[in-house]
Structure 1
Amino acid sequence: MPDMPGHRVFDRDLLDSRRRRWLDAGAPSAVRFLLRAVADELAERLSLVERHFPVAVDLGGHTGEMAAHLRAAGKADRVVRIERLEALLDGPDLAALGDEEALPLAEASVDLVVSTLSLHLTNDTPGVLVQCRRALRPDGLFLCGFLGGDTLSELRASLFAAEAELMGGVSPRVAPFADIRDAGALLQRAGFALPVTDQDRLTVRYDNLFQLMQDLRAMGMANMLVERSRRPSSRRLFLRAAEIYAERYADQDGRIRATFDVIYMSGWAPHESQQKPLQPGSAKASLAAALKDRSGPS
């Protein structure tokens, strides 16, 4: 989730290519567990808002699960899905091809934008947030979940240790992730009112590093960093990384742990009816409470 407009961290063309392979291969539903978990959590949080949204946008939701939640809850008259790949746009909803970094939305044209696990793979995240805020009508809601914090910290540490030991140096292999403080600051900079962030940790267990990496490839989350090494990685490197991973992060039964930290954010397009923000450091409400506070007619 870079905070440097114009600086490319991710090769998004490579991301598209991997997603196409993921679609062509018919990735098993088991590897969608993160998308499903985050979409379910966002839907639960949105259920606390007793408000109807005439036009809702499912931004980069990949599988359409978030759009299905919006339809099932009757939260919106129209649901528009925006994806970079046409192959992802199936189902009954309105659809538009577009990039998160160049939204095909007019100013003040929608009432709700929900993003599921896509913002951490954008090169200009501050710009994306500004565009989302501009696309919202006054008192419209932005809600998202993205990977951050210590996500895949075990894998990063194991690969770094193995590469340093075998090659005397390291190259970037795991994407950088923002922490929760960065997320809150970005919401404020984008001009959202009543910004709130919180974090949830999912710990997933695997038999070994290779099983974890197989899932990451199926999710399209394999190394797509612009500054990644172009040299083919040796099997020796990954075998040693698997040994280090097992030594440091295995449970008593021998299975390894993988951390996925999901940062949730909400913010409202400014409106005169909204309460004034608290003084810095005085906030005690949770994201759920903040969403509920904006329930009902404005």
Structure 2
Amino acid sequence: MPLLTPLRFPWRRLPAAGVPVKNLGLRTVASGASSPSGASPKAFNIFDRDLKRKQKNWAARQPEPMKFDYLKEEVGSRIADRVYDIARDFRLALDVGCGRGYVAEHLNKETVGKFFQTDIAENALKNALETEIPTVSVLADEEFLPFRENTFDLVVSSLSLHWVNDLPRALEQDTDEIQVNYPGMFELMEDLQGMGESNCAWNRKALLHRDTMLAAAAVYQEMYRNEDGSVPATYQVYYMIGWKYHDSQARPAERGSATVSFGELGKINDLMSQGKKSQ
């Protein structure tokens, strides 16, 4: 099997900022159905969800599924870091498209009281990673979650929603980048397959000829190779964070109560110095 060393992770940390939301609902919309306010008027049926279930089940059945877990482990850890940045605990949490539980393994029972983990792949749920948090595994499609609105205090999802057909809005945020070096394009393709991340778009080509793949690998190598001959693959990760309001959290200040305008923020150090001199 190909060696994946050395691995390079030149990541940029994003600020763990978020906006509390009054009602973190779990309303879902079936393809072509009427959508809730603010969501896309019609879902585009781009991905074959049944095929994605088969791909993830196949990946979870492999003798050493952890061999391909490095990316999902890393992103799960980063999501957990963002949860820890929220100054409260969560009685009931949900992981949508949990896989083998890459977020839960990095959290503790002091932060999350109970974790519901849902995925479309039963084999992933059967091979879940260890966590000290009491968990409930639920076989469910991310597009049709079987929970009532306003059930959970926290909802997370890691490397799953990019295969969902109906997202309320385009993701308009900065990305966190993780770059991994591979010996070549074929090793990259093997790892994507091992992760259960092979293409499942309806318009995908059923077969790629060997000559086409060899040509693509040669072009990839020529255009992007590193000095050591490896080729980089950059994974762009989008993070969104939100939580239901809790009485233990500080309330925002009343509108109009600010004593400094936004136009003066650039002079904040001078204003603070003047305040100290006048005391």
Shift of residue 275, structure 1, vs aligned partner? 5.9
Residue in 2 aligned with 1:112? Answer: 154
Task: Give the unaligned 5+ runs of structure 1.
Answer: 130-181, 185-196, 283-298
> What CA distance in whole angstroms lies between the structure 1 residues aligned with 2:65 and 2:113?
32
Secondary structure, counterpart of 2:42 in structure 1: coil
Shift of residue 10, structure 1, vs aligned partner? 0.9
**Does 1:66 find its partner at 2:103?**
yes
Residue in 2 aligned with 1:245? Answer: 220
Count of aligned residue pairs for this structure pair:
209
Selected match of 1:262 from 237, 248, 256: 237
Q: 1:33 to 1:227 in 2, by over 3 A?
A: same
Higher strand fraction: Structure 1 or Structure 2? 1
> Which protein has the larger Cα radius of gyration, Structure 1 or Structure 2?
2
Residue in 2 aligned with 1:81? Answer: 117
Q: For residues 12-31 of structure 1, give each alpha carbon's deviation from its aligned partner in whole angstroms, at most 9, with x where no partner exists.
A: 11111111211222344231
Q: For residues 167-206 of structure 1, give each alpha carbon's deviation from its aligned partner in whole angstroms, at most 9, with x where no partner exists.
A: xxxxxxxxxxxxxxx324xxxxxxxxxxxx4421111101
Selected match of 1:15 from 39, 52, 60: 52
Task: Give the unaligned 5+ runs of structure 2.
Answer: 1-39, 129-133, 256-261, 263-279
Q: Is the 8 A contact 2:47 2:201 kept in 1?
A: yes
Shift of residue 87, structure 1, vs aligned partner? 2.4
> What CA distance in whole angstroms lies between the structure 1 residues aligned with 2:112 and 2:160?
22
Q: Is the 8 A contact 2:57 2:124 kept in 1?
A: no
Q: Is the 8 A contact 1:35 1:117 kept in 2?
A: yes
Q: For residues 128-158 of structure 1, give each alpha carbon's deviation from its aligned partner in whole angstroms, at most 9, with x where no partner exists.
A: x8xxxxxxxxxxxxxxxxxxxxxxxxxxxxx
Letter in 2 for 1:57: L
> What CA distance in whole angstroms lies between the structure 2 residues aligned with 1:198 and 1:244?
29
Q: 1:245 to 1:276 in 2, by over 3 A?
A: farther
Letter in 2 for 1:215: D
Residue in 1 aligned with 2:178? Answer: 202
Relative to structure 2, which stretch is displaced further, 83-92 or 53-62? Answer: 83-92
Residue in 2 aligned with 1:101? Answer: 143
TM-score normalized by the length of structure 1: 0.64
Higher relative contact order (CA 8 A, sep 6+): 2
Higher helix fraction: Structure 1 or Structure 2? 1
Shift of residue 239, structure 1, vs aligned partner? 0.3
State the superposition RMSD in angstroms: 2.5
TM-score normalized by the length of structure 2: 0.68
Selected match of 1:55 from 92, 96, 99: 92
Q: Is the 8 A contact 1:4 1:124 kept in 2?
A: no
Residue in 1 aligned with 2:189? Answer: 213
> What CA distance in whole angstroms lies between the structure 2 residues aligned with 1:204 and 1:113?
28
Secondary structure, counterpart of 2:80 in structure 1: helix
Letter in 1 for 2:204: R
Q: For residues 108-143 of structure 1, give each alpha carbon's deviation from its aligned partner in whole angstroms, at most 9, with x where no partner exists.
A: 1110001011111100011xx8xxxxxxxxxxxxxx
Q: State the percentage of identical aligned residues.
A: 34
Q: Is the 8 A contact 1:27 1:218 kept in 2?
A: no
Shift of residue 86, structure 1, vs aligned partner? 2.5
**Does 1:183 find its partner at 2:183?**
no
> What CA distance in whole angstroms lies between the structure 2 residues aligned with 1:77 and 1:55?
6
> What CA distance in whole angstroms lies between the structure 2 residues aligned with 1:203 and 1:228?
25
Residue in 2 aligned with 1:30? Answer: 67
Residue in 2 aligned with 1:164? Answer: none
Q: Is the 8 A contact 1:56 1:110 kept in 2?
A: yes
Letter in 1 for 2:191: D
> What CA distance in whole angstroms lies between the structure 2 residues aligned with 1:253 and 1:16?
37
